[in-house]
Structure 1
Amino acid sequence: TCAAPKLKNSDLYKNCNELPTLKSTLHWTYTATNKTLSVAFTATPPASGGWVAWGINPTSTVMAGTQAILAYKEPNGSMAVKTYNISSYSSIVEGKLAFQVYDKRAEFNAGDGSITI
């Protein structure tokens, strides 16, 4: 079983996977009635001031085509959340994803330094 993410808004997720290689957790709920997927990904950046990202490639098993959400803590303490449509290996540029993102946010856990997207 997974430990519940420490989210301030008390979101509940029906499914969970611990990802021990990445020392991270992925929680999700698929709602069939409106065909939406709610996701919470929690990981600790490898270094202070680092970033965390979660992505999915809906059409292949390679990095090109991945739709990614990246988060990091700004110097002023606020959280930045950015989206990347990774279309090639030559450059990674911030941009819209191939699907609608309704609620993108991130939270920093000062206790363990983890970030939840």
Structure 2
Amino acid sequence: MLQNLDCSSFSFSNNQIFATCMPLPVLNSVLHWTYYPKNHTVDIAYRHGGVTDSDWVAWGLNIDGKMMVGTQCLVAYRDSSGEIHAYTSPVSSYATLLTEGALSFNVPRIEAEYSNNEFIIFATLQLPAGRTSFNQVWQNGAVVAGNILAAHAQSGDNLKSFGSVDFANGL
């Protein structure tokens, strides 16, 4: 389980180093980041273990709410051609299909990788002005019928995968 590891000792395949990390309480996930106050950006790596390459994973910030609706997501999965696909998806309803779309803030870089039953999403976020503390949501589910993402489970830890993060204070 990722939560039991000292997240600061994790070695990324691209040798990237992050200043802060936070094991997330459910769904075998860890968030790593480096915050740059001068330009109000954050480089993140979201790790989600215990999944297969026929699953999807997502992590995002909910700027105005606490749960799924309103979340600005980063999504990754292995597409029908075998390539890892990483993209942004705004969540506007509980019936979302995590379709690709622009977020309410800029994401100049997003990419992902998969190995050893773990997806890692790397991204740079230009945070909304004047804030460093946000609600975060993370999730996983199955990929079905090629490139269609099925809804995540509606029970257990999948309904507990939310919390807060403060990029400036490391909380």
TM-score bracket relative to the smaller structure = 0.7 to 0.9
Q: Which has the higher strand share?
A: 2
Code of the aligned partner of 1:103: R
Q: Which has the higher helix share?
A: 2
User: Alpha carbons of 1:47 and 1:9: their partners in 2 closer, same or farther (altered >3 Å)?
Assistant: closer
Q: TM-score, normalised by structure 1?
A: 0.85
- Tell me, what secondary structure is at the counterpart of 1:97? coil
Give the count of matched residue pairs.
115
Cα deviation, residue 97, structure 1: 0.7
* Residues 1:22 and 2:27 aligned together: yes
Q: Structure 2: 5+ residue runs without aligned partners?
A: 1-5, 122-171
| Corresponding position of 2:101 | 95
Structure 1 contact 45–52 (Cα < 8 Å) conserved: no
Structure 2 contact 20–32 (Cα < 8 Å) conserved: yes
CA deviation string 1:22-51 (max 9, x = no partner): 111110111001110111011136444111
Code of the aligned partner of 1:49: S
* Residues 1:115 and 2:108 aligned together: no
Code of the aligned partner of 2:101: G
Report the identity percentage. 35
CA distance in 2, matches of 1:32, 1:20: 27
| Corresponding position of 1:11 | 16
- Tell me, what secondary structure is at the counterpart of 1:17? strand
| Corresponding position of 2:126 | none
Q: TM-score, normalised by structure 2?
A: 0.60
Q: Structure 1: 5+ residue runs without aligned partners?
A: none
- Tell me, what secondary structure is at the counterpart of 1:89? coil
Q: CA RMSD in A?
A: 1.9
Structure 1 contact 43–52 (Cα < 8 Å) conserved: yes
User: Alpha carbons of 1:73 and 1:7: their partners in 2 closer, same or farther (altered >3 Å)?
Assistant: farther
